Structure 1
Amino acid sequence: MNEQHVAWAPWSGPGHEHLVLREVSSALTAHSSVEGVTDEGRPFSLRYFLRTDSACRVREVELALLGSDARLALRSDGAGRWTDEKGRSLPELDGCIDVDISASPFTNTLPIRRLGLAPDSSDDIVVVYLAVPELSVRRCRQRYTCLGPERYLFESLESGFRAELPVDSQGLVLDYPGLFRRLPSR
């Protein structure tokens, strides 16, 4: 088992994420704590758990807000079919393999690793977008382009948002311009 501790901070304002990432036989489990402030200035504290299979397809994700009953749990068969915590089918998410947690740069690692793009190639994907602190769920179209070794262009195909992401050899974001920056590990 390989275990790594990773931390990010927002470029501006208070906040911090501490992620414990474990890899066993190429499957990932992530336990994370995120402290942040919304655009409206409201603080939040999020805990999340995420598990992938050996092909880096998300199989389950759970989010909970501290000091609230707000909780979200989703499961996937790895082929793009999702259910809620009670096992009810969520056909509006059909075809989504990855998740994007708005308060964390970690979820960019999942498609980067799963797609294994060669330099100058790209792929359009549909993800389960999890907005924090609302814990709302929706489909979102995105594109990842490999710009070269350890460098990717992320694009939201709906909003037009773009960011060039330098990553480490594990596909973990080092800098998410204007949003998150990786803190040095000790």
Structure 2
Amino acid sequence: MPISLFWTRTDTTGSDHCLVDDHAGLTARGVAQAVDPVPHTCQYEVLTDESWTTVRLEVTTEGAGWQRTVRLERAGDRWRVTTGEQGDLDAALRAAGRPPVGLPGTDDPDRLAEALDVDLGGAPLFNTLPVRRLGLLDAAPDTERGLTVAWVLVPSLVVVPAEQVYTTLGGGRVRFASDTFRADLDLDERGFVRDYPGLARRAG
């Protein structure tokens, strides 16, 4: 992998390091760690085609007494979702005073049919996917694009459809909005996040 990206979380104690090849679409693998809502490690691998449309995402999250996996794979115009679980994340959450989250994955993959992108909770790399796929690096300021993503929550690995909007601001900045949340992202010349206010900042 020719690129190494490292982010320090600013919303909690944690970090994210990934290795990336972006010469023909994206191939990347990374490891993220955070202490909230319970201490956990998240390992991920993502692959897109040359148009930056996501083809596959594999994620494993693990903490004391539990492990979860999810695999999303594009099959024609549908997503195939495969999951695994060992131990009991909900028990760990209850012990930490947090509500349970239920099973990983989704009981209705058809809800994800419109999604061409995936978004992994807490991982700044995944904002690059729609930025590159939609050509927002070269778009005029105030260009706005709405999309549906397959959003993978961490550490639960529950998968839900989410509506997102990206708006170019100029100067390497893009506004990201989803529901009532918004953040102005600072990107480098290849579209990778340097600063995600309220979430993470890149080192180096």
1:12 Cα offset (Å): 4.4
- The one-letter code sitting in structure 1 at the alignment partner of 2:27 is T
Structure 1: tracts of 5 or more residues without a match? none
TM-score (norm 2): 0.81
1:116 Cα offset (Å): 0.8
- The one-letter code sitting in structure 2 at the alignment partner of 1:144 is Y
Identify the residue that residue 174 of structure 2 maps to in structure 1.
152
Identify the residue that residue 91 of structure 1 maps to in structure 2.
110
Which has more radius of gyration? 2
Identify the residue that residue 8 of structure 1 maps to in structure 2.
7
Contact 1:4-1:20 within 8 A present in 2 as well: yes
Structure with the largest fraction of helix: 2
Q: CA RMSD in A?
A: 1.8
1:148 Cα offset (Å): 1.0
Deviations 1:100-133 (A, max 9, x none): 1112011000000000131221111000010000
Contact 1:80-1:93 within 8 A present in 2 as well: no
Alignment equivalent of 1:69, drawn from 47, 63, 67: 67
Contact 1:83-1:89 within 8 A present in 2 as well: no
Percent identity between matched residues is: 34
TM-score (norm 1): 0.88
In the alignment of these two chains, the number of paired residues is 176
- The one-letter code sitting in structure 1 at the alignment partner of 2:4 is H
1:65 Cα offset (Å): 1.4
Distance in 2 of aligned mates of 1:129 and 1:107: 10
Judging changes above 3 Å, is the alpha-carbon distance between structure 1 residues 55 and 162 closer, same or farther for their aligned structure 2 residues?
A: same
